Chain A
Amino acid sequence: GEDVEQSLFLSVREGDSSVINCTYTDSSSTYLYWYKQEPGAGLQLLTYIFSNMDMKQDQRLTVLLNKKDKHLSLRIADTQTGDSAIYFCAESSVNNAGNMLTFGGGTRLMVKP
């Protein structure tokens, strides 16, 4: 089945850029997503990219997709302490009926002042 992998932890200093990486195995992925989860809260959809795109930018967020290597990244520019959270990568594919998401294990981002 589909598999989505992320590194567990990332620590950056406030003001630096953060890059969170994700790899996936399903070559028929249609959409790839980034969600943010703060403590005690639900998952907040940050952005998503269609699989035929290679980049999407939305304010401080830049998503890069390398479909050949099945590698997705999320870059957060000028990282702030409020960006500290767990970030989940997810994919949906045409193999699933509907828009079933397969999530990675999440990357905990810690931003130091």
Chain B
Amino acid sequence: DAGVIQSPRHEVTEMGQEVTLRCKPISGHDYLFWYRQTMMRGLELLIYFNNNVPIDDSGMPEDRFSAKMPNASFSTLKIQPSEPRDSAVYFCASGGTEAFFGQGTRLTVV
């Protein structure tokens, strides 16, 4: 398996624009997690899914953030409208007892 695949690897966008981050989990994994990493706050869990169903989205910062998992092989994290403070590295991870991380998407909002 190629591991958890995230796209794009880098995204630069202007404030106010919509941003969509994508994730393909490892086949057969029941759990999918979205994390955000910043220097100030470290790694924060935003939301996670079990069998495509959102279980806990208490880490989503505000209504501008939304996440979907339409099927077992794909998830998106959307920010609309984006703001400079959303600049961070966003990681997707999948697994169960062991969580495997993608390479991340570095988002810069200018």
Contact = CB atoms under 8 A, between A and B. Distances in A.
Contacts, number: 51
Taking residues whose C-beta sits less than 8 angstroms from the other chain, chain A's interface range is 20 to 34
A98 B49 CA distance: 9
- Grouping DSSP codes into helix (H, G, I), strand (E, B) and loop, the B interface class, with mixed when no group exceeds half, is strand
B98 A98 contact: no
B97 A99 contact: yes
A77 interface: no
A42 B42 contact: no
A106 B31 CA distance: 24
A42 B102 contact: yes
A41 B42 CA distance: 15
Interface of B: 4, 31, 33, 42-43, 45, 48, 50, 55-56, 91, 93, 95-104
Which 5 A-B pairs give the minimum distances between C-beta atoms? A42-B101, A103-B43, A43-B101, A42-B103, A105-B42
